[in-house]
Amino acid sequence: MLLLAALLALAPRVAAAERCDGCVTAGAASVALHIPRGAPLAGYGSFARRLPVPDLFGRHPHAFWFRPSEGELDPLGARALVVEGAGARLAWVSADLIAVDRAFTARVAQRLRESGVPPATLILSASHTHSGPGAFFDSALLGAVSVDRRDEVVREALVESLVEAIRRADAHKVAARVGAASGAAAGLTRGRLGRPIDSEIVVVKILTATGAPIAALWNFAIHGTMLGPRNLRLSGDVMGVATRELERHLGVPTLFVNGAVGDVSPERHGSTEAQAAGQELAVAVRAVWTRAQAGRRGPLAIRTARVALPAPHLSLQNCGGAWIPRWLRVPLGGALPREAELIGGALGDAAWVAIPGELQSSLGQAIKGSVPPRWGHAFVAGVSNDYLGYFLTAADYARVTYVACASLYGPEAGETLTRAASELLGALVGEDR
């Protein structure tokens, strides 16, 4: 009788294991970003955000070039997803930040090791809000331009928030199924360069073996600039509104990953419009989530590639006008690296490439169009793990625009990254079986 009782007790677990044969394991968590009071905002270099003179006398504990923030317009957070399968392990965290640099990403990886979290491929995706905290970049160039001088207290507070999110996600892993679907959110964005833009939404849906939601990861290209430079309160902008609304309905952590956002701006602006657009975007994402069918197709596969880039420089013609000679440039070799790291991955029916900067929409669509038929859905994870500026087509690099001015690796760099990303995705074929 005791043996029979034990077998009956074990039966549901055995059946569940059989139903989830070939599943990955996944866990997710969401935490609030800890931001010291008075940290500056990042994203705009205009005088509306700057102090009249730099804070040489230490009146502001965390700000130097820029005005301190004036409280919180809406809560900022970090959402983490940890996935294991087929010998691969991924820790993906999305945070309400303008961007990250590779030193910040390396610091998060170091703290994860020190915290005893098992090694994983780390993808740190910034939402690209222009009203998130600043003062955490190593770069003196970007510090003076738009994010303020590095403040160790702010930086470590943000690092610990992201580490805590990953640690919690890792501690809650269970057997999981994965699905994906695509849709569109028309009318919310416009092109900065007069070119067609990508309005596709891709949703990756993670469920337990019994069908309960674990997390959602959603990808869409939009600049977090609905709130302008006169806003001095911390905010996740339109992406933060949409993410909170999604979490209210789905009840699980929802990771927003920006796309090929280089020439994609919001169609409307202002705080009221940001609330309305965020609600509209959440509705569109939920419709895609509903269509995603979680199955057992394809475990986790990850590959990385390092791509050599030309010497970085600022083109004075792109920034100032066509009358300036093309050869007149400011070298930036001491401020920026000469290579980019790409991370390609596949999970279930979705594949992606993480890009350390802002790729032009047409280049992102070229990457997605090159994805092997093995995967039904593909996306570019922009503004991830590092920030190397904008990457454009050669034709659009030659124009006098802000976007071209901030494209710092010459006319061929955009196509170079696009080719490397397409090759990386092709190399994943076979590794996810």
Q: What does the chain come to in residues?
A: 433
8 Å CB contact between 282 and 245: yes
Contacts of 427 (CB under 8 A, 6+ apart): 303, 344
Q: What is the pLDDT along the chain (433 residues), one digit of tens a residue?
A: 444 444 444 444 333 433 566 689 999 999 999 999 999 999 999 999 999 999 999 899 999 999 999 999 999 999 999 999 888 999 999 999 999 999 999 999 999 999 999 999 999 999 999 999 999 999 888 888 999 999 999 999 999 999 999 999 999 999 999 999 999 998 999 999 999 999 999 999 999 999 999 999 999 999 999 999 999 999 999 999 999 999 999 999 999 999 999 999 999 999 999 999 999 999 999 999 999 988 756 689 999 999 999 999 999 999 999 889 998 999 998 889 999 999 999 998 999 999 999 999 999 999 999 998 889 999 999 999 999 999 999 999 999 999 999 999 999 999 999 999 999 999 987 655 5
> Would you call 59 exposed, middle or buried from its count of C-beta atoms within 10 A (0-12, 13-18, 19+)?
exposed
CA distance 18 to 292: 22
Torsion sign across C-alpha atoms 319, 258, 220, 353: positive
Q: Considering all CA atoms of the chain, what is the largest pairwise distance in Å, rounded to the nearest integer?
A: 92
Residue extents of the structural domains in the chain: 24-427
**Phi (first) and psi of residue 231, to 5 degrees:** -75, 125
The per-residue pLDDT for 331 is: 92
Q: How far apart are CA 281 and CA 236, in angstroms?
A: 14
| Predicted local confidence at residue 333, as pLDDT | 85
Task: Supply the pLDDT for residue 430.
Answer: 62
Return the pLDDT at 137.
93
Q: For residues 246 and 28, what is the distance between their CA atoms, to the nearest angstrom?
A: 15
Return the pLDDT at 227. 97
